[in-house]
Amino acid sequence: MSAHDDRLLIIFYGEVPTTEAVRLALLDHTGVSFAALAMMDEHSEKAGMWTRDPLGCLPSGRLAIDADPDSIESLVTSRFAENLGGVAYLCEGITPLMPKLNVGERFLGTLQLCCFQRRADINSAQLYQYWLQEHTDVAMSTQNTLGYRQNRVSISGEPHFDGIVEEYFPPDASHSMQAFFADGDNEARMWEHIEKLTQSSERFLDLDRSEVIHLSDIRII
């Protein structure tokens, strides 16, 4: 697992900028080490079975930026997110599994973006323990995950979220529960994984206050 990194996530709830517009906007920010833009397209629509929108604020796109602290501060103070038409979420980022994604490439599968609010009966310390300490291995062992980035939100835009998860899945997981939960043709094991994952997730997040969408992700930097 990587160390905690400074990370800015920009969530779009309407029109998503083009990759070229984002690339040009980032030219003045030399401390950026990673930037990827995700949006809905014909490819990601195949994963519509996984969409959840209980809050009525389903994201249409996401821009993830990893950078040094000075660059993150510059991006925030310059209203970078607002100028692109998005909402800024300043995060403490952890990357248990970095997706294999080269600059200019679109990820072969889909990015599952989950924006959630924590359970009302737990505090921030418990969220850290349950999610970032105890849940990580459960999530990676019960799903066919090709990339996993956890983002504990320190300063949230509106709508408010406490955590944002970026999980990368292979193409077959878009339409197959068995492919999604890493079980091949073993249906019994698939349901075991679903139960284990659900029990772990419900310790820290409110499923009725969690937005889930699959997107196509392109690395810009």
Specify the amino acid at residue 104: G
Q: What is the pLDDT of residue 182?
A: 74
Q: How far is CA 104 from the centre of its chain?
A: 19
pLDDT tens per residue, range 132-180: 999 999 999 999 999 999 999 999 999 999 999 999 999 999 999 999 9
Structure confidence at residue 112 as a pLDDT band (50, 70, 90): very high
CB 71 within 8 A of CB 29: yes
Structure confidence at residue 3 as a pLDDT band (50, 70, 90): low
State pTM to two decimals: 0.95
Specify the amino acid at residue 87: V
In which residue are the tokens 């000075």 written? 70
CA–CA distance, 129 with 188 (Å, rounded to integer):
30
CA–CA distance, 96 with 190 (Å, rounded to integer):
23
Q: Is the pLDDT of residue 4 over 70?
A: no
pLDDT tens per residue, range 206-218: 999 999 999 999 9
Structurally, the chain folds into a number of domains equal to: 1
CB 66 within 8 A of CB 151: no
pLDDT tens per residue, range 59-71: 999 999 999 999 9
DSSP state letter for 56: S
- CATH code for the domain in which residue 208 is found: 3.30.70.100
CB 151 within 8 A of CB 166: yes
Q: Specify the higher pLDDT residue, 187 or 214.
A: 214
Q: What is the extent of the structural domain holding 86? A: 5-219
Q: What is the pLDDT of residue 1?
A: 44
